[in-house]
Structure 1
Amino acid sequence: MNKPVTSARVPGRGRIFNSITETIGDTPLVRLDKFAKEKGIVANVLAKLEFFNPIASVKDRIGVSMIEALEEAGKIAPGKT
């Protein structure tokens, strides 16, 4: 099996956030060693757990980016739109 991939970043679990948008990103990856071994795959096979995102979607980050861009452009305002 290949050398495990690790992250130097601090995981989000157990932290307290000021906004739901702060929880977007750092989507957990889980190594599927048993699956890879059963299929004869010599590689790191990972599953990305999108259901950990606030609305369980890969679109969370782009949604927040679009809203922030519209706010910066003055086209929408927090609490008014």
Structure 2
Amino acid sequence: MLVDQPGDTELSRVFSPDHRVSLGLSRILEILPEVAQVGAHVDEELVGWVKTARTAGASWQQVADVLGVTRQSAWERFSRRVSS
């Protein structure tokens, strides 16, 4: 697997709702745009990987299966973004 899954690690503690609340409102508001930026980057990367998979010959069903969504969901989410 390319990335580790959070388990009983420091990472899972940091991402827990209890930990986030304990940071206090001002710190939460500081972090929020950073999280949004990371999310946007992850989304861009995911689109790039889907485009690579499709270029390599993957069907929408194969993409959907590995992402754990329906074929229709995968197509609706990515088809316009990977065709350009």
Q: Same fold (TM over 0.5)?
A: no
Using structure 1 for the length normalisation, give the TM-score: 0.31
Structure with greater proportional strand content: 1
Structure with greater proportional helix content: 2
